Every structure is written in structure tokens, then in C-alpha cells.
Amino acid sequence: MKLMRTIRLDPSDTFVFEQAAEPGEWAVSGAFVFWDVDPAKLEGKQRSAFRSGFLGVESFGWSTLVQIVEAKENDRAAVVETLAGRLVERFGAPDLATARKAAEEEVAFAASLCGHPADTLVAVHRAVEDGSIREAFRTLRPKGGPKPLRAFSFLEVEGEDEAPAEKVDLVGLAEGKRK
């Protein structure tokens, strides 16, 4: 199974959106955030989120790009539960069971966008057509297929809270090459 994670290739999301999603968050389209908003009245950063943002499930921040990644069933279940909780907290869903159904639909839609190889980047463009929000998705892949070395990847690390076992002195290493 594949899902989407937010990715930040440069700091622009922190300037473009009111709240930028943290890199590596599970993501959904997020169009539902605008269901009761008149998009014609949106301005500035809210308008940017409407036009081109994916919603980070943890922070409810926005990301211009997401990356398709492999996921496990427990990852999907965690995304559904987190999103359901946010729907109750932020959107007044009547209860967790109702919110869970809506979250399941959002996550299923996000997964339906992941029919491309892992590491493919996806961008969205939203507009209003005939009174409805229309989303168009675009994929971005390296020319000529996947490259053997990637500049960006997501790694799950056990024990992230622990201090690293070793430290690298980059200055010392650089000075050693000069001698």
C-alpha cells in the first residue's frame, strides 16, 4: 500500500502558507477544509492553501508537494485515527465514529492518488468550476526513471529520542584534506 507524506524541498511553504506542514507528515488532499468557504473571498496565504496545498494530518499545516511512499496497514490506521480526531477537534464532527468514516474516505482518496512508483512527487491545483471544487493532480518524476542516489528520502528510525552514538567533525575532516 502507498500513501502520501509531505515533503519540503525548500523553505517556501513556510512563507506561502499560514501554517506549513512539517516534512514527513502523512498527508491528504485537504479540500474538505474549504467546503463551507467561498474561495472567491480567500486572500493571501489562505488562497495559496486552497489553490495548491496538501493537508498534513498531524499539524493541519499545508505542503505544496507530497511524496508517494510505501506504507503499512498500521500506518493507514494511524492516519485515519489522527484525522478523525482532528475532524472532531477542529470541524465539530459529532463523534469519533462519524469522524472516522469521513477520515476513511479522505485517506482512501489519498491512497487512490498513489498509483505511481514510490518517491514520485505530487502537486495539486484547485479551482472552483460550476460551483464545485475541482482538483487536478500532477506527478513529478526524475527524467529517465529513478536515480540510484536520492537527495531526499524518508527513513523511519527507532530510538530517535536517543543521542547519536557518534559525532562527525566536518570541519576537522575538511582540514585534514587540506594538509
CB 29 within 8 A of CB 55: yes
The total domain count for the chain is: 1
Q: In what order do the strands lie in the sheet with 26-28?
A: 62-63, 54-56, 26-28, 2-7, 65-70, 121-129, 132-140
d(CA 29, CA 66): 10
**Lowest mean per-residue pLDDT among 36-45, 87-96, 151-160:** 151-160
CB 94 within 8 A of CB 60: no
For residue range 48-104, list pLDDT tens digits in order. Answer: 999 999 999 999 999 999 999 999 999 999 999 999 999 999 999 999 999 999 999
**The pLDDT of residue 178 is above 80:** no
Range(s) of the domain holding residue 53: 2-178
